[in-house]
Amino acid sequence: GPFYKPKAPLRNSVGKGYVLSGMVMSSKDCSPILQAKIELWMAGPDGEYKDNFRATLIDYDSGKYQFESNRPPSYLSRPPHIHMRVTADGYKTLITQHYPEKGSSSAEFDLVLIPD
């Protein structure tokens, strides 16, 4: 996605007010994928992409993740969204975006990876 930068800080929060959670799983059998790396980046409240709105999550135990941020803003003609890049050993990289429902303060968004 646009504005991707590798090596985002390891953290699960870049703000308050919107919680995104879910599970990383295999397309083969829907089993959880442990140690998946989820990189997230988004525009800040001013509509600009800055380092303080980037994060890396790594789940070691259950395949589940949780990320908290401010509610993503819309900017230019783009609706509010959070960019995501998911990698795990033995799986193809997934690059996607999450679009919050209007008026919501949380969402569940499962991420399904395809084996190599």
pLDDT confidence of residue 113: 98
pLDDT confidence of residue 1: 53
Q: Which of 55, 18, 19 is nearest to 37 (CA)?
A: 55
pLDDT confidence of residue 76: 84
Output the pTM of the full model: 0.93
pLDDT confidence of residue 54: 97
What are the CA-CA distances from residue 15 to residues 18, 27, 66, 94 (Å)? 8, 31, 13, 24
pLDDT confidence of residue 61: 83
Residues of the chain with pLDDT under 50: none
Q: What's the CA gap between 88 and 31, in Å, rounded?
A: 13
Q: Which of 106, 109, 51, 52 is nearest to 84 (CA)?
A: 109
